[in-house]
Structure 1
Amino acid sequence: MDLPVALELYTLRNELKDDFLGTLEKVAEIGYKGVEFAGYGGFSASELKKYLDRLGLVPTGSHVGIDLLKDRLDEVIEYSIEIGNKYIVCPWNKYETKDDFISTAKLLNDIGKKCKENGLVLCYHNHNHEFQLFDGKYGLDLLYENTDPDLVKAEIDTYWVEYAGVNPVDYIKKYSGRLPLVHLKDMEEGTRDFAEIGKGTMNIKEIIEASQKAGAEWFIVEQDVCKRPPIESVKISFENIKKM
């Protein structure tokens, strides 16, 4: 596999609370090349940058809530630049109507413009609720259609696409050239619970192939809920991806 593999640190949120730097070290020891942040453990950008460099971990993105993106974007951009993070990701937003998607798209365009002016890239990360239909069109498609492809990119979470009843391979192909980041997850048969990659029902090999052809730069492993100790789960996922 040509593309490097990173870990979404939300998976290890409880471990990070107990020992942020020690947990990053374990992630590096497993073999992950990068990490996607969901908070910085209270460390300054300069402190975190030094530690990432020491471990050889690349910041592959940072999930930042939409309120912070609206109200404190300058700080968000400054921190990302200092740690060497290229991708700022809006991880979630609430929608009820078609107009909610269109108004969010306008907001994301404004945020993405400022990110681009500072050499960064804004992405939007989906869940399943964005696949609500409006006049036969998914809300997520409305969001992407009403944003400038140069200002707002996709971080497609393949689990939530599958969960919504949509084929993730087809959806990846649909946004070819616009998705630098792809979340790899797996789904237990029957329960549809989160599973380690390679232990579920999703066609990971086809997802990987489609992502590579679509121009993705990073695969990012995430497991929202783990039935094993999370550090064990992320190791299993990494090893299974290597086997593929």
Structure 2
Amino acid sequence: MKRMSIGLQMYTLRDATAQDFEGTLRQVAALGYEGVEFAGYGDIPAERMRDLLQELGLKAIGSHIGLHLLENNLDNEIAYLKTIGAKYAICPWLPVEARDTEAWRTHLVNFEKYGARFAEEGIVFCYHNHDFEFEVEIDGQIVFDALYERITPEKLQVEMDIGWVQYSGVDPLAYIRKYAGRLPLLHLKDYRGGEKGKQIDTVELGRGDLPLNAIIETASEASVEWLIVEQDTCANPPLESVATSMEWVKANYLNKF
């Protein structure tokens, strides 16, 4: 099995970063995470963020960039990513009013444009799924698949949130295999219950229902570069939760190398 790097989606720690962004990053590094994926920068200038990450030995994987920022602030987002040495820019979410079939037709055009612009700067553009991409169709094809069939890999790669894939009733292992070679980033999460139409009870890794060991092995075979831990909501203090998840990763994955 090829070793993949272990990152953390900082959205999980949004309450902590709102109070002390730099201090929270220091705690993430101390837990053993190798990289971070941002969802905002806490108003920290790019040069300061770059220096802090270098000091802590953390890699900047990339950043979740909201649709409004892609539309209105693209050049500044590119400049920040380049300064901190991040490779990936990810569209993480679409508002409810922008998810119908006609809206998706527009997104396909715009995502291709954004992907081309990022590629010019040496940055890889990705899309991060939830469940709604499996609920809408374009010309008889679910949006998740249409997205990657109609936009070339050079302009759009996959960041697969494996928890939402399983929640959508799709075989997570089959979908990882389906997008092998186009799937550099995989959000690793766990949940309990999660009947369709009900709120997911997200939990620390190893405490839920997902077949995590099989997911990790399949991800390695699919040439995933980063396993990115994310917990949308935490019943326990979030820093405690990401520490618990990292201990699971060390015991069930990193100890094999």
Determine the structure 2 residue equivalent to 1:163. 167
Any unmatched runs of 5+ in structure 2? 253-257
Note the 1:1-244 alignment, pairs <5 A: 2-94=3-95, 95-134=98-137, 136-189=140-193, 192-244=200-252
Q: For residues 136 and 117 of structure 2, what CA distance do their matches in structure 1 show?
A: 30
Q: For residues 107 and 181 of structure 1, what CA distance do their matches in structure 2 show?
A: 22
Q: For residues 8 and 96 of structure 1, what CA distance do their matches in structure 2 show?
A: 24
Query: Does the 8 A contact of 1:8 with 1:35 survive in 2?
Result: yes
Post-superposition shift, 1:133?
4.5
Query: Does the 8 A contact of 1:4 with 1:218 survive in 2?
Result: yes
- Please say which of residues 26-35 and 203-212 is displaced more in the overlay: 203-212
Any unmatched runs of 5+ in structure 1? none
Q: Is the partner of 1:223 in helix, strand or coil? A: coil
TM-score when normalising by structure 2: 0.91
Q: Is the partner of 1:172 in helix, strand or coil? A: helix
Post-superposition Cα deviations, 1:100-149, rounded to whole Å, max 9, x if no partner, equal 22321111110000100001100000001111153653211111112111
Query: Does the 8 A contact of 1:102 with 1:143 survive in 2?
Result: no
Determine the structure 1 residue equivalent to 2:255. none
RMSD: 1.4
Post-superposition shift, 1:91?
0.3
Q: For residues 192 and 41 of structure 1, what CA distance do their matches in structure 2 show?
A: 27
- Please say which of residues 131-140 and 80-89 is displaced more in the overlay: 131-140
Q: For residues 239 and 54 of structure 2, what CA distance do their matches in structure 1 show?
A: 21
Q: Is the partner of 1:155 in helix, strand or coil? A: strand
Identity across the alignment (%): 44
Post-superposition Cα deviations, 1:40-91, rounded to whole Å, max 9, x if no partner, equal 0101100111110000000111000011111111110011000001100000
- Please say which of residues 62-71 and 138-147 is displaced more in the overlay: 138-147
Query: Does the 8 A contact of 1:6 with 1:36 survive in 2?
Result: yes
Q: Is the partner of 1:89 in helix, strand or coil? A: strand
Q: For residues 234 and 186 of structure 1, what CA distance do their matches in structure 2 show?
A: 12
Q: For residues 20 and 129 of structure 1, what CA distance do their matches in structure 2 show?
A: 31
Query: Does the 8 A contact of 2:124 with 2:157 survive in 1?
Result: yes
Post-superposition shift, 1:242?
1.4
Q: For residues 35 and 159 of structure 1, what CA distance do their matches in structure 2 show?
A: 19
Q: For residues 118 and 12 of structure 1, what CA distance do their matches in structure 2 show?
A: 29
Q: Is the partner of 2:61 in helix, strand or coil? A: strand
In the alignment of these two chains, the number of paired residues is 244
Q: For residues 90 and 72 of structure 2, what CA distance do their matches in structure 1 show?
A: 15
Q: Is the partner of 1:220 in helix, strand or coil? A: strand
TM-score when normalising by structure 1: 0.96
Q: For residues 212 and 226 of structure 2, what CA distance do their matches in structure 1 show?
A: 15
